[in-house]
Amino acid sequence: MKVTFRIQRYNPEKDAKPYFKDYTLDGLEGTHRVLDALHDIKWQQDGTLSFRRSCAHGMCGSDGMAINGRNTLACSLLLQDIKGIESGKPVTIEPLPFLPIIKDLVVDTTDFFNKYELVKPYLIVKTPPPTMERYQTEADAELLMESTKCIMCACCTTSCPSLWSNESYIGPAAILKSFRFAFDTRDEAPEEHMAAVDSQDGIWRCHTIFNCVEACPKEINITWHISQLKKRMVSDSM
């Protein structure tokens, strides 16, 4: 299969603004991933192309980008799953929206991770450690299971219109992490995980737009978790 990739390029040190450059690859299989194509382009055609990747297996969250306008992981998207690819339509690749561009497809995730830190994304325990492990029932663990699959790729948060209209919004990834620890029955300070989220620029700025769910490469129903957290905050305040 012959495919043209239309990739957004931008080097802030040299370019006045971002622009698109086309690269064509031949001999691709439908089972090749977009990340494989990016490697081919970088290693065979243009070594100046910059993008992040590490694990190449959907685990590290480093290669989030917008492919044909949809945020996803380049290492998890097979060419055969891209709509219209057989018809020869170019595949457009852009950096994740909204975040500042460092170069080409590499974005600055500082703000994203600063917001994540606000929810204290770790187990808080105040009692002395037990002689054995801290127990949790299977049902309690099951409640958290989906939220623990998050790999912090930022595909959800950067797809959210509530963030685009207000950069102070903490975003769905941080809210999901708040859920993950506030609902952990071993945690002894759920209010500390919820404090940063229970504000005008927190969970209450989510208007249930669902872009985050569409974008999540781990298929996490983020909106359901947000709704559970909202219910908990309301019931805790009564």
- Which positions touch ligand SF4 (CB under 6 A)? 150-156, 173, 176, 215-216, 218, 220, 222
Within positions 164 to 203, which residues make up the interface with ligand F3S, using CB under 6 A?
Answer: 172
> Which partner in ligand FES, ligand SF4, ligand F3S, none is near 93 (CB below 5 to 8 A by kind)?
none
Residue 1 beta carbon to ligand SF4: minimum distance, rounded to whole angstroms: 28
CB 163 within 8 A of CB 169: yes
Q: Identify which of 163, 156, 176 has the alpha carbon closest to the alpha carbon of residue 205.
A: 163
CB 226 within 8 A of CB 206: yes
Residue 189 beta carbon to ligand SF4: minimum distance, rounded to whole angstroms: 23
> Which partner in ligand F3S, ligand FES, ligand SF4, none is near 55 (CB below 5 to 8 A by kind)?
ligand FES
Name the E strands within the chain. 3-9, 19-25, 64-67, 70-73, 91-94, 101-103, 106-107
> 107 by DSSP, 3-state: which?
strand
Determine the Cα–Cα distance for residues 156 and 179; give it in Å rounded to an integer: 15
Give bridge partners of residue 93 from the DSSP assignment.
Answer: 7, 67
Residue 125 beta carbon to ligand F3S: minimum distance, rounded to whole angstroms: 29
Instruction: Candidates 53, 89, 134, 186: give the one binding ligand FES (CB under 6 A).
Output: 53
Residue 47 beta carbon to ligand F3S: minimum distance, rounded to whole angstroms: 36
Residues in the chain: 238
Give the distance, in angstroms, between the CA of residue 48 and the centroid of all CA atoms in the same chain. 25
- Pair of tokens at residue 104: 């080409």
Residue 213 beta carbon to ligand SF4: minimum distance, rounded to whole angstroms: 9
Instruction: Candidates 160, 170, 216, 233: give the one binding ligand F3S (CB under 6 A).
Output: 160
Within positions 69 to 108, which residues make up the interface with ligand FES, using CB under 6 A?
Answer: 73, 75
Residue 206, interface with ligand F3S (CB under 6 A)? Answer: yes
> 124 by DSSP, 3-state: which?
coil
Catalog residues that contact ligand FES under the rule CB under 6 A.
Answer: 53-56, 58-63, 73, 75
Catalog residues that contact ligand F3S under the rule CB under 6 A.
Answer: 160, 162, 172, 206-212, 223
